[in-house]
Copies of this chain bind each other. A is one copy, B any other.
Amino acid sequence: MFQYEKKLQYPVRIKTPNPKLASLIITQYGGPDGELGASLRYLSQRFSMPYPELKGLLTDIGTEELGHLEMIGTIVYQLTRNLSEEDIKQAGFDAYFVDHTTGVYPASSAGVPFNAFSIAVKGDVLTDLHEDLAAEQKARTTYDNILRFCDDPDVKDAIKFLRQREVVHYQRFGEGLRLATERLNSRNFYAFNPSFDAR
């Protein structure tokens, strides 16, 4: 079970509203490679993960991603405070606003609601870890792209923190994959499940 601790993993204090930027960053809330997908992927995969260290790894990172989801939600919320109707229109935020006001809804930057098609749980140790390595790279790329549109140092700072965490997670999943392939006694660097290959 989960306990909520009333603080963000990393502080978010944005002084200047910017609904246009909010509409881009929201993709890390509910878009194809965002934090919701990340936490859901890892917290779902852990049930069938046979090795305790890897189960723990998935739980740790999945739980941290829930905190990142909260950070992204906070960024989106702070970027959309105190907007006039004119601000909303000029930023092209009206299509979102009409359906959600300034509530934080899990959608991509294109406005498409979150869809679990974007995550995989295959129930295979090596496959799930590959999925996770790819997921971290995809999230990292999205943060790279977001950073290109951020001028506000308050936003940049939080996004850079989140991007850095994806790099760390990628490395941890890489170590996890090494550990798993050793256990599976594979002689293949690319890590296939030997029990199947032996059939």
The residues of A with any CB-CB pair to B shorter than 8 Å are 1-5, 7-9, 23-24, 27, 29-33, 36, 40, 43-45, 47-48, 59-60, 63-64, 66-67, 69-70, 73-74, 76-77, 85, 88-89, 92, 94-124, 126-128, 130-131, 133-134, 137-138, 140-142, 144-149, 167, 170-171, 174, 189-190, 192-193, 196-197, 199
Copies of chain A in the complex: 6
Q: How far is the CA of A70 from the CA of B141 in the complex (A)?
A: 25
Which residue from chain B places its CB closest to the CB of A21 in the assembled complex? B94
Q: How far is the CA of A31 from the CA of B96 in the complex (A)?
A: 11
Find out whether the CB atom of B130 lies under 8 angstroms from the CB atom of A134: yes
Interface residue SS majority, chain A:
helix
Find out whether the CB atom of A4 lies under 8 angstroms from the CB atom of B7: no
Q: How far is the CA of A152 from the CA of B124 in the complex (A)?
A: 25
Chain B residues with Cβ under 8 A from A5's Cβ? 1-3
Chain B residues with Cβ under 8 A from A128's Cβ? 103
Chain B residues with Cβ under 8 A from A48's Cβ? 77, 101-104
Which residue from chain B places its CB closest to the CB of A80 in the assembled complex? B48
Find out whether the CB atom of A112 lies under 8 angstroms from the CB atom of B109: no
Find out whether the CB atom of A32 lies under 8 angstroms from the CB atom of B123: no
